[in-house]
Structure 1
Amino acid sequence: MKLSILDQAPIVKGKSAKDALEESVNLAQLGERLGYHRYWIAEHHDLNGLACPAPEVMLGAIGIKTTSIRIGAGAILLPHYKPYKVAETFNLLATLYPGRVDLGLGRSPGGSAEASVALSGNFLENVRNMPEAMDELLHFFHQDFNEDNLFSKIKPTPVPDILPVPWLLGTSGKSAVLAAEKGMNYAFGHFMSDQDVKPTISTYRQLMKENHPNKNPNIILAVNIYCAQSSEEAERLAYESFKWSVNKDSQLSKEQEDEFNELRNKMIIGNPTEVKATLYEFEQNYQVSEFMVLTNTPTYESRNKSYELLAEAILMEQ
């Protein structure tokens, strides 16, 4: 089993955005020391409590502070950007940090409707055009446009010796189909999806086999984990983290309590033994060997401890 880290750069109580971004660098370094396979950082725009609108900038800072862990975006929200610019940016990162760079792609807005308009105008139209944008991006990476295509005359320089590895991030069967059509690796967001994992992943595997029989279907399952020395402490961390994200120091309303209880069903919460058992159960049920772990707790210390306990329970016993 491989474990990886998904970071949303949360701003916890009493801390600043600068603190959050510095802790993101620290988390990537910690993950590397503990044996995590990848570190990905997410893109959000003007969302209360999250500090990173530009994963590519943070990856430049994180790459220079690490040496072996794979680093990537989880995700670059492609409808906001031109494929050529994305290819240039990630080719540059892959040139700086050879053999370590992942490019996760997503189609969510990452913020409010107003932020989406400010970023890219007609976001919904851009989402409809995302399959074509993905094709264009992949052609830029592989430099295999038809000769009569205008873009065949340009390169997204610098062109690295080892290209970034593209992944499609999704939460539905629709994204699984798109990833398989394009022959891309697929990361499924278990923690933010209402869809059943098993049929979604089965769809991806089956279509990959049909469309790209020479490629191995690579799958990551992204999960929300709260791990602590005791089950009670893990439950407290999950509850307090949700409370801070929606209502800061105030008591939760009945509607918010209901929302937490619904989200609770998608979380993995417990002591190391309990969390380990759940992940191995997921591995067997879904035939997935890599889990990308999102952990937002009330303090950076408890977040780091959760990742440490998880690594001790799984990575250091393998």
Structure 2
Amino acid sequence: MLRLSVLDQAPISKGHTPEETLQHTIKLAKWAESLGYHRYWVAEHHNTSGLASSSPEILMTQIAASTQEIRVGSGGILLPQYSPYKIAENSKTLSALYPNRIDIGFGNSPGGSPITQKALTDHHIKPKEDFYRQASDLQGFMHNTLPRNHEFRLVKAGPRIDNPPAMWLLGLTENGAKNAAQLGIGFVFGHFINPKYGKVAMKRYYEEFTPSVNHKEPATIICIFVVCAETDEQAEALAITQDRWLLNVGKGLGTKVQPPEEINSDEYSNEELEQIKKNRNRCIIGSPSTVKKQLNQLAEAYQTDEFMIITNIYNFEDKKKSYKLIAEEML
């Protein structure tokens, strides 16, 4: 049986406020737990008017406090913008508060535009090639395993708990898979961003995985857009708001989700229709049986046993129902 999890970017639907959106995140986390989803992760985005998830660590605290068993995580913290030591302390504090429930997913994203990155780092931008060193340091601070000759060997990340959170590297390429494999941590492939290198990345991760203090065996998750309704036709009707949202994001036109009544597919240019078709490679749209069939096919292709589902449609109740229908079909 496949595991199902949720990634929430906290997208703000047009006409709604950030406050309402974050309350929806809490409600959706409770809903996902009641349906049997395994994890609930929240994203990190900056300098955007349409995504309310800017500080995953703070959101994770509220989600974990509002639920009982579901694993709570970040998808993902922008490691290059911060100190590995501080991330380790935030993470271990969360894990001390909610033992054996916290996942720390992190990635190599700059966090936005060049000026946004400068603001995040206070002008101290680290070179891209420094990422592996940072990830290794993060693992060392998490587990107190820094090498004896490391300059920070005597600096301990507190609180000094026995079971630090699980670490997951978010990636889109073979390089990300290689880094995760060499570190011996979990690998999350962002099919929802660009599926192009998915199969080769997963193959490399499995072939090169080295057991570590973090993971003894390879562990993978595929993150993908899914919109589900009772019929394929109903799912397609809901998905037009996600199609429009993806178009807008791609063009830099804004990140709020527009209502369906503002969307007229007849007004799309040929170029936009082609882009929507291309974006659909990042998605599964359909009835429960359609979604199940396509997820099972992808699971075989990727050799994974877990999917993390992201659903960025306009109506919150339709989003809840989408997750419910998937769970009823597959869990």
Unaligned ranges ≥5, structure 1 = none
Structure 1 CA distance for aligned equivalents of residues 234 and 111 of structure 2: 31
2:153 matched residue in structure 1: 152
Query: Displaced runs of 4+ in structure 1, greater than 4 A?
Result: 121-124, 250-253
1:230 and 2:231 are equivalent in the alignment: yes
1:1-318, aligned counterparts within 5 Å? 1-121=2-122, 125-208=126-209, 211-212=210-211, 215-244=216-245, 246=248, 248=258, 249=262, 253-254=268-269, 255-315=271-331
Kindly indicate whether the alpha-carbon contact (under 8 Å) linking 1:80 and 1:126 is maintained by their aligned counterparts in 2: no
Rounded to whole Å, the distance in 2 between the matches of 1:253 and 1:314 is: 35
Q: Displacement of 1:118 after TM fit? A: 0.5
Deviation at 1:53, TM superposition (A): 0.8
Q: Secondary structure at the match of 2:224?
A: strand
> Tell me, what secondary structure is at the counterpart of 1:259?
helix
TM-score by length of 2: 0.89
Number of matched pairs: 313
Asked if the contact 1:77–1:110 (Cα under 8 Å) also holds between the matched residues in 2, the reply is: yes
Helix, strand or coil for the counterpart of 2:192? helix
Q: Can you list the C-alpha shifts for 1:113-152, whole angstroms capped at 9, x where unaligned?
A: 2211110156863432111111111111111224454422
Alignment gaps of 5+ in structure 2 = none
Aligned-pair distance for 1:289?
0.7
Amino acid at match of 2:323: Y
SS of 1:224 mapped into structure 2: strand
Is residue 101–residue 164 contact of structure 1 (8 Å, CA) maintained in 2? yes
In structure 2, C-alpha distance between the alignment counterparts of 1:162 and 1:212, rounded to whole Å? 17
Shift of 1:4: 0.3
Structure 2 CA distance for partners of 1:180 and 1:47, relative to 1, 3 Å = same
CA distance in 2, matches of 1:196, 1:241: 23
Give 1:174 deviation, angstroms.
Answer: 1.0
Please report the TM-score for the alignment, with normalisation by the length of structure 1: 0.93
Give the Cα–Cα distance (whole angstroms) in 1 for the partners of residues 126 and 115 of structure 2.
15
CA distance in 2, matches of 1:243, 1:149: 49
C-alpha distance in 2 between matches for 1:244 and 1:168: 26
**In structure 2, what is the Cα distance between the partners aligned to 1:285 and 1:149?**
40
Q: CA RMSD in A?
A: 1.9
In structure 1, what is the Cα distance between the partners aligned to 2:124 and 2:242? 30
* Greater mean deviation of Cα atoms: 82-91 or 274-283: 274-283
Contact 1:116–1:123 (Cα < 8 Å) also in 2:
no
